[in-house]
Amino acid sequence: MRIAGKGLIDRDSVLNFTFNNKLYQGFEGDTLASALLANDQMLIGRSFKYHRPRGIMTAGSEEPNGLVTVQRGRTQEPNTRATVQQLYEGLVARPQNAWPSLKYDFLGINDLLSPFLAAGFYYKTFMWPKAFWERVYEPIIRRAAGLGELAEAYDHDLYEKAFAHCDVLVIGAGPSGLMAAITAARAGLDVILADESNRLGGRLLSEVEEVDGVTGRIWADAILVELARLSNVRIMTNTTVTGAYDQGTYGALERVAHHMHLSPEGLPLETFWRIAARKAVLCAGALERQIAFPNNDRPGIMTASAMRTYLNRYGVSPGQKIAIFGNNSDAHRTARDFVEAGVEVVAMIDCRQEVLAIGNYTVYAGAEVVGTSGRLGLKAVTIRHNGALKTIECDALGVSGGWNPSVHLTCHMNGRPVWNKDIASFVPQDGAVPGLSVAGAAAGEMSTTGALAQGYAMAQAIARDLGKRPKSFDLPLASEGPYEITPFWDVDGKGRAWLDFQNDVTTKDIKQAAQENFRSVEHMKRYTTQGMATDQGKNSNVNALAVLADATGRGIPETGTTTFRPPYIPVAMAALGAGGHAKGFAPERFLTSDAATQELKAPMIEAGLWYRPSYFPQLGETHWRQSCDREAKMVRKTVGICDVSTLGKIDIQGPDAAEFLDFLYINSVASLKVGKVRYGLMLREDGHVMDDGTCARLGEHYYLITTTTAAAGQVMRHMDFVHQALRSDLDVSFTSVTEHWAQFAVAGPAARDLLNGILTHTITDKTFPFMGCGAVQVGGVDGRLFRISFSGEHAYELAVPAGYGDSLFRLLLDQAAGMGGGPYGMEALNVLRIEKGFITHAEIDGRTTAFDIGMAQMISDKKDCIGKTMAARPGLIGPERDQLVGLKPVDAIKKIIPGAHLFETGAEPIRQNDQGYVTSMCYSPTIKSFIAQAFLRDGRNRIGQTIKMVEHLSGVSTLCEVCDPVFFDPEGGRLRG
């Protein structure tokens, strides 16, 4: 119910929302949880294992029970914590884990079966018979398992990733965080202040105590006003810092649009931040823990501090008759606040003997809650007091077992928290994360005055560390009593006492784990699933290990904690992977001829990130092979045009350029004359082929080399390494110019005629002989011409600055059309190169050597080069190697399949008899046969023999003749024609 005059909500702004198909109203400033509680909706969902009725337990991101599915346009988001979800007009939420309805849940039967479903049940039960696992057990378990359901539709929501940098990252904007932020900001540091909530203030928003003579939230607002005015401060609300990583990197999840019904176009739902901070201050506060007592999980039972939050921040009382159960002084603040708000407080049950009331309420000192009743919501508690049982009617119970400092981030780099017996909690280990200091409740400082002082001191120290001279100023004081606690974890009694509400782990499960010798805290965790739900044990881990410590006769420090790992809260994969799907995963690279190519309706294929034309279909062609055959024949007969700009191009200049290239290529480059091009092969240092390409000498100290499309990046990196790390004595500079030039192959007997139709100056065999290169002009544009051929024809590659690529491609096609020629695509290009025995990365796949591809004789004996020594080592040369050969089918079956393996004709086609494998295959319209390239054991000595190709996947077996890899024009007469 709402309490008049309380809360930071805007009662003039009414918001309509739906939960469980029922309409409700809340106010601006509410969370879904506070609005539901205001409407006396205590039952929110069903628990994971026993399907127990559950209600709201906390008021923050640690919430284990209040998980709902929010329907938002086309998306449904399961496991949304109602305590974090800001209310908006039109919000639609559904309960989870309940069928057919929240009130009558079928799997509630699990609760009755609970004696059989205790820890280890799955491990013990589903062992036999073995065959049952896959067919019977797993499907049943899978159907019952999991929290919430995904929409199983495409996620249309936008997620983003972003990077931020600062001097100081302040994590949490409670008293210590605000103090740290303002201190660092006043010292002139760049500050990022991140807080989970939509409003800064932390616990100050939930308390009535004063800071600096005014209510805490008013003090917080004043600090906020000052922070907001400073240009060196960035305030990030709705942002949870999720992890601490190396060198001051922090992950943070910003919930950008979760509080909107329909977000504006382009606004992401969430942004995942990577924040690089020189220093950070963890001011994450503390989380209140439960006490395990029989049936402590009924709707209406929550933490005492959450009750206070609902009252003071949201103006909501979760009940009309409030009881509090605690072991510390802080719990009394809840009793006091509710009394002062005019809500009936029926009992303050304190297990300590010496208790001082701070308000007008009934205290049961030395008492404990031993039972509760109320199936769908709390109706009464039974307490043991002075040796007698007493039942007290109440509809809400606030529980406080003490506070656990939020040490999580300090453990993300292997830090282990240490036990502090004064507050009966773990506190952070000093220096657990380099550059991260901890202040306030997160450091175990439970008083607000102390938290303010720590925030100030940490920020002052950081400012001095970073070379500032911060001015000192007076610290504000807070009004509050001291924090006193007597450790108390669980109540002995009849009935199950819950620890982990989300995974339904009870004290009995922990004791059973200990009994079955799962005594290590890590073993206990895995055996019972304690702390393995989406709240990661924030509400229950410390209690569970206290129970384990007791059951194993050890102390809590000796028992130790499990490891906290990132992320601090659940993070959607979509947020972590933002920008990394679809085109973000694989950007598209388009040729300058792309538009013209698309106009010709050429199907495109991917070559790395590039899109290249597969073939150019003509009217009447119904199959790619028709187009491919025509294009291949066209190049052999007249002239073809192909965009080859995707090849890597590296511009190399300097007095030592020749020596540098000599060290990279196996063959000599220094001997290349200006105006000539040479084929070159590069090895890795281990003797295997890295890449091949051409090397053109444009001037005395000026080279341009090409790489294959696939290896362009690798070769550039390799050249950087060789130059900087091995040969920094050489005076040479180089840079990638791949995208600076559009380059087109003009191939075929009519190539020169075509070029002479468009070049400013006519070329001849004398000015541009085979493997010649030089400057040309085309349409007033300076270009380069290379007489090189990947087709075996009289061919050129003409390059112009990329901006002229589109017009040059169109011009070349116009010229070709008048000569019976035209464009050709990747399919025909592949046919032409296989006919000539030229290789691609299908052949030089990282496992082959220069010897394997028949180029060992290219390795110059006059110089050293990368890979030379190892290329000569035993095992990389000799008859035991698989060597490049050609294949041609000789029998009725003509099918050759790349990837298929080769066997002796009489041998059984098994691995032990393997003789090699097929790498490339095509139909050659010139040879009028299928032809292939393959690597065959000692292949060069087996030319003319018959070998059997077997492909087990499709069951194809083909007899092939082993041929020289060059099928067409072996003398190369056409190249020079």
Partner 1 sequence: MRIECPLCGSRDRREFYYAGHASALERPDPAASAEIWDNYLHIRENLAGVTNDLWHHETGCGAWLVVTRDTVSHAVLLARLAKRDKK
Return the C-alpha torsion angle 434, 187, 243, 266, nearest 10: -150
Per CB under 8 A, the list member of 246, 354, 474, 861 interacting with partner 1 is: 246
Kindly identify the residues of this chain, within the stretch 666-695, that bind partner 1 according to CB under 8 A: 685-686
Find the helix or strand (DSSP H, E) in which 309 lies. helix 304-312
Pairing of strands 929-937, 882-889: antiparallel
Minimum separation from the CB atom of position 891 to partner 1 (A): 44
Kindly identify the residues of this chain, within the stretch 251-280, that bind partner 1 according to CB under 8 A: 274, 276
Per CB under 8 A, the list member of 522, 558, 588, 720 interacting with partner 1 is: 720
Of 249 and 320, the one with the shorter C-beta distance to partner 1 is 249
Of 434 and 655, the one with the shorter C-beta distance to partner 1 is 434
Per CB under 8 A, the list member of 262, 721, 817, 891 interacting with partner 1 is: 721
Kindly identify the residues of this chain, within the stretch 728-757, that bind partner 1 according to CB under 8 A: 728-729
Find the helix or strand (DSSP H, E) in which 798 lies. strand 795-801
Minimum separation from the CB atom of position 432 to partner 1 (A): 11
Of 203 and 868, the one with the shorter C-beta distance to partner 1 is 868
Closest CA to 744 of 712, 767, 776: 776
Torsion sign across C-alpha atoms 698, 702, 707, 713:
negative
Of 415 and 640, the one with the shorter C-beta distance to partner 1 is 415
- Determine if 174 is a binding residue for partner 1 (CB under 8 A): no
C-alpha 660/C-alpha 728 separation (Å) is: 10
- Determine if 413 is a binding residue for partner 1 (CB under 8 A): yes
| Region binding partner 1 by CB under 8 A among candidate stretches 123-131, 187-195, 590-598, 723-731 | 723-731
Q: Where are the alpha helices (DSSP H) in 560-656?
A: 573-576, 594-599, 624-637
Closest CA to 593 of 635, 542, 641: 641
C-alpha 421/C-alpha 303 separation (Å) is: 22
Minimum separation from the CB atom of position 431 to partner 1 (A): 11
Of 359 and 435, the one with the shorter C-beta distance to partner 1 is 435
Minimum separation from the CB atom of position 268 to partner 1 (A): 20
Q: Is 709 left (phi over 0), alpha (psi -120 to 50) or beta?
A: alpha
Torsion sign across C-alpha atoms 502, 504, 508, 512:
negative
Q: Where are the beta strands (DSSP E) in 256-411?
A: 270-282, 286-288, 301-303, 321-326, 344-350, 363-365, 368-373, 380-385, 388-393, 396-400, 403-405
Minimum separation from the CB atom of position 670 to partner 1 (A): 18
Minimum separation from the CB atom of position 735 to partner 1 (A): 9
**β-bridge mates for residue 571, sequence order:** none
* Spatial contact of 180 and 439, defined as CB atoms under 8 Å apart: yes
- Determine if 586 is a binding residue for partner 1 (CB under 8 A): no
- Determine if 248 is a binding residue for partner 1 (CB under 8 A): yes
Of 601 and 717, the one with the shorter C-beta distance to partner 1 is 717
Compute CA distances 58 → 84, 725, 839, whole Å: 10, 58, 67
Give the angle 29-31-35 at the CA atoms, nearest 5°: 95
Q: Which two tokens stand for residue 584?
A: 């973000």
* Spatial contact of 650 and 736, defined as CB atoms under 8 Å apart: yes
Minimum separation from the CB atom of position 163 to partner 1 (A): 7
Of 414 and 954, the one with the shorter C-beta distance to partner 1 is 414
Q: Contact letters (x/-) for partner 1, 275-314, by CB under 8 A?
A: -x--------------------------------------
Per CB under 8 A, the list member of 139, 342, 434, 655 interacting with partner 1 is: 434
Kindly identify the residues of this chain, within the stretch 834-893, that bind partner 1 according to CB under 8 A: 864, 868-870, 873
Minimum separation from the CB atom of position 869 to partner 1 (A): 5
C-alpha 480/C-alpha 208 separation (Å) is: 10
Q: How many residues bind partner 1 (CB under 8 A)?
A: 25
Of 674 and 877, the one with the shorter C-beta distance to partner 1 is 877
Minimum separation from the CB atom of position 968 to partner 1 (A): 38
Minimum separation from the CB atom of position 868 to partner 1 (A): 6
- Determine if 163 is a binding residue for partner 1 (CB under 8 A): yes
* Spatial contact of 901 and 757, defined as CB atoms under 8 Å apart: no
Minimum separation from the CB atom of position 283 to partner 1 (A): 23
Q: Which residues of this protein are in contact with partner 1, per CB under 8 A?
A: 163, 245-249, 274, 276, 413, 434, 685-686, 717, 720-721, 724-726, 728-729, 864, 868-870, 873
